[in-house]
Structure 1
Amino acid sequence: MVKKQTYTLEEAKRKLENYCVYQERCHKEVRQKLQEMHMIPEAIDVIIVHLLEHNFLNEERFAKAFVRGKFSIKKWGKYRLTSELKKKDISKTNINQAINEIDDENYYNVFNHLAQKQVLSITDKNKYKKRKKLADYLLYRGWESDLVYKKVNELIP
């Protein structure tokens, strides 16, 4: 029989402080981690308040770091970024603040580069299939549909 690890309140606080220091976390991730540690709801609330008071947990900072990272590394568009943050229960205000930090010029440059790179990798000879593949790829990555269809028409006339 496997013995479940138990933690005192102080041990759990230290463990979660390290968890938050390692990488920005949202409230939902921290709550989930505490539940996995089999902490009681009252202890979870005490620990989350402690993390907030000592600035280990900051939803605004998390949203901005998330958007920066996913935009620059995964090349996600604003729709995908917004929906992923909503899944993490981030407030609309924090989502908008984070999204607005993306420089418009950089946003369109990344989009154009991504579209041109992708169109070269599509080997389909059928123009309509090629257009659909490009559009699907860009829409899946969360780019706005008006941008996507304009670019598809431009790159595959």
Structure 2
Amino acid sequence: MTDLLKDALRKAAMFCAYQERTQQEVRNRLKEWGIYGDDAEEVIAELIQQNYLNEERFAQSFAGGKFRIKGWGKRKIKQHLQQRGITGYNLDQAMNGIAPDDYRTTLSELLDKKRRSLRDDNPLIIKQKLARYAFSKGYEPDLVWQVLENTD
């Protein structure tokens, strides 16, 4: 490994140690540093071997954080993970990491909080606004309507 690659590996290791990253994010950063092709893949392989880079860990951390902190639904989380190049097994593991009971409870709490902020007398308009809000957060329409029906 040349000195340039050793330096890139050291910088990439620090980049990954700061927070979880995807291979694509590291590849893009290496490109900014002028490391391309096989050299970039060699650095990425070394980061994976040293456990600085782990896409399953990234996917679970990302999904858990967006769900717990931002209240995102599975559809939105899945879309953002796919945009970051996470697919297949890692994507499934991230989605399975969200407990169904917690998921439904979080949706109910989000809708209750939103309902308190709405100022309208027409219950149909309120329900429509709540549904639109939940859809924008990435929740599945079937679940949203179920929760809205149960809270009347």
Q: TM-score by structure 2 length?
A: 0.90
Match of 1:145 in 2: 141
Q: 1:67-82 maps to which residues of 2 (within 5 A)? A: 67-82=63-78
Q: 2:127 aligns with which of 118, 125, 131?
A: 131
CA distance in 1: counterparts of 2:27 and 2:71, whole angstroms: 29
The runs of 5 or more residues in structure 2 that have no matched partner are: none
CA distance in 2: counterparts of 1:127 and 1:109, whole angstroms: 22
Q: Secondary structure of 1:8's partner?
A: helix
Q: 1:30-69 maps to which residues of 2 (within 5 A)? A: 30-69=26-65
Q: 1:103-114 maps to which residues of 2 (within 5 A)? A: 103-114=99-110
CA distance in 1: counterparts of 2:11 and 2:120, whole angstroms: 52
The worse-fitting range, judged by mean Cα deviation, of 91-100 and 128-137 is 128-137
Deviations 1:19-53 (A, max 9, x none): 10110101111111111222222221111111111
CA distance in 1: counterparts of 2:116 and 2:41, whole angstroms: 52
Match of 1:98 in 2: 94
1:24 aligns with 2:20: yes
Equivalent AA in structure 1 for residue 82 of structure 2 = K
Deviations 1:48-78 (A, max 9, x none): 1111111111111111111111110011111
Equivalent AA in structure 2 for residue 113 of structure 1 = E
Q: TM-score by structure 1 length?
A: 0.87
The runs of 5 or more residues in structure 1 that have no matched partner are: 1-6
Q: 1:154 deviation in Å?
A: 4.3
Structure 1 segments of 4+ aligned residues over 6 angstroms from their partners: none
Q: 1:152 deviation in Å?
A: 3.1
CA distance in 1: counterparts of 2:129 and 2:29, whole angstroms: 39
Q: CA RMSD in A?
A: 1.7
Q: 1:122 deviation in Å?
A: 1.5
Match of 1:4 in 2: none
Q: 1:130 deviation in Å?
A: 2.3
